[in-house]
Amino acid sequence: MAMIEEKLKKLGIELPPVPKAMGNYVHAVQTGNLMFLAGKGPLEIAGKRPIGIVGKDFTTEEAYKFARTVGLVLIAVMRQELGDLDRVSRIVKVLGMVNAVPGFGDQPKVINGCSDVFVEVFGDRGRHARSAVGMGSLPSNIPVEIEAIVEIV
C-alpha cells in the first residue's frame, strides 16, 4: 500500500468525494512538475453546508474546523488527479481566504486548519508557504475558501 494512503488509515482520515465544479473551471491544472488546485470550500458538517461570516456567524475555532475539511477536499482532488498521493513531493503554497467581519485578524488561526492537516498527512512535505487573508465575501457566502500549489513527481 502507498505510504500516504497508509498514513490516512492510521490517522483515521477518510477523504471525501471531490465535489462537482461550480462553474466553468477544472479542479486542477498541471504544468511541468506543478499542480495548481482550484479554490475549494468547506464540507457539510452535521448535514449542513456552512454559510456565513467568521466573527459574526462562526467562531475562529469553528472556522478552523471548516478549513480542515477544505484541506481534506484538496487532498481528495490531489488523489483524483494523480492517482497516487505519494506523487506529491511538496505542498508549495496555500492561499486561504476567510469571509470575515471587518477588523477580524485571526485569518492565520483559521487557515491553520488546512495547514495542520497537510502536515499530519504529508509530514515535512506538507509544510508550505502561505497567505491567509480576509475577504468581504466569498462565493455562496461560504466562510472559508482555500487553493494550493503542489509539486509532483
pLDDT in tens, 119-133: 999 999 999 999 999
- Identify any residues that bridge with 90 across adjacent strands, giving them in sequence order: 151
State the residue range of the domain holding 32.
3-12+25-152
Q: What percent of the chain has pLDDT over 90?
A: 92
As for how many domains the chain has, the answer is 1
On whether residue 136 sits in a domain, the answer given is: yes
Q: Is residue 133 part of a domain?
A: yes
DSSP 67: H
**Within 10 A of 37 (CB to CB), how many other CB atoms are there?**
23
CATH code for the domain in which residue 62 is found: 3.30.1330.40
In this prediction, residue 47 has a pLDDT band, given cuts at 50, 70 and 90, of confident
Element (H, E) at 90: strand 88-99
More confident residue, 107 or 1: 107
110 part of a folded domain:
yes
- Is residue 17 assigned to a domain? no
How much is the pLDDT for 29?
A: 98
Reference 86, options 17, 153, 34; nearest CA is 153
User: Cell digits for 30?
Assistant: 498541471
Q: What is the pLDDT of residue 84?
A: 96
pLDDT at residue 1, rounded to an integer: 55
Task: Report if residue 94 sits inside a domain.
Answer: yes
Measure the CA angle with vertex 69, ends 63 and 30; round to 5°.
Answer: 120
pLDDT at 81 over 80: yes
